[in-house]
Amino acid sequence: MRRVILASLAAVALSASFMAAPAIAQGAGAVEPAPLSAYGALPSLELVQLSPSGKQLAFITVSGEERMLVLLDLATKAQTGGVSVGQAKVRNLDWLGEAKILITTSKTENLPELGLFNTELWTAQIYDPGKKKIISILTNSQGDVLNKRGSLFQALFSPPNVVQTPNGPELLVRAFNFDNPDRLDMYRIDLETGRGRLAEVMGMDVTDYQLDPSGKSVAKGEYDKVGKIWKLQLRGDGGFREMWRTDAPIDTPQLMGLGLQGASAIIAADRPDMSQP
């Protein structure tokens, strides 16, 4: 089956080498090799992110196994904030405007009461350098790390979605609610408390989505695991309507983005009904 990409988003990774080892002349003395620990050490600088204005820089620095978030003012070169992230894997950094930053981490957990063993769970925290505090998102009213039945489970079930609205940044994530075990709804996160408020109901069969500038989903990909069928749903005046479906026994299509007017979706998919020269 030939794969026809209806549209794709290309990412270019740039790399630079800042040091070049001088050539060693024939007959020169042997050079002492670097210790093995140098090859296995974590990078000392990672996940560099500019703030929306371009005036601040956030990055993760590593000392041994400990990770630290550092914020810098690019004009003065002064450090404006910093907080320890511990030994959890830092997966991403997202600026929430100019005043806060979202830290997404993952860690292998064992939660036998939930039937989870050696499972890597993703969580997120909001760091406010002005108030010098960090809060976990999706906590319940008691602020427990592991939410009890009848509330939200703190792990993320989607990548965090940061939407820049006219009223400021908004954060939306999908999460599991013990009261509705057949759904993975979208929740809007309060940036001051970390608590989630239901933003949109989403079924378990929703595997992909695209949001408009207000944070509302306008395109969804749904997958029927029994029939192995992927369906494209687009929002209209009367709600969502199925616009296209395809058999997908192995690889499912992916929503890559929205069209120029926001009324169409860009998809990467296998199309056996089409051919390319």
Q: Can you count the helices (H) and strands (E) in the chain? A: 1, 19
In tens, the pLDDT along 210-257 reads: 999 889 999 999 999 999 999 999 998 888 999 999 999 988 999 999
pLDDT at residue 64, rounded to an integer:
75
Span 44-55, mean pLDDT? Answer: 91
In a domain, 149, yes or no: no
Bigger pLDDT: 43 vs 67:
67
SS3 (DSSP) at 59: strand
Angle CA(34)–CA(35)–CA(41) in degrees, nearest 5? Answer: 105
In a domain, 210, yes or no: yes
In a domain, 20, yes or no: no
pLDDT at residue 266 above 70? yes
Could you give the CA distance from residue 186 to residue 156 in angstroms, rounded to a whole number? 10
In a domain, 222, yes or no: yes
pLDDT at residue 209, rounded to an integer:
95
Residue 132, classified by CB atoms within 10 Å of its CB into exposed (0-12), middle (13-18) or buried (19+), is: exposed
In a domain, 246, yes or no: yes
Range of the domain at 254: 205-277
Domain count across the chain: 1
When mean pLDDT is compared across 48-62, 135-149, 160-174, the lowest value belongs to 135-149
Could you give the CA distance from residue 43 to residue 70 in angstroms, rounded to a whole number? 15
In a domain, 268, yes or no: yes
In tens, the pLDDT along 105-146 reads: 998 887 777 777 888 899 999 999 999 999 999 876 433 444
Contact 251/1 with Cβ under 8 angstroms? no
In a domain, 195, yes or no: no
Tell me the pLDDT of the chain averaged across its residues: 81
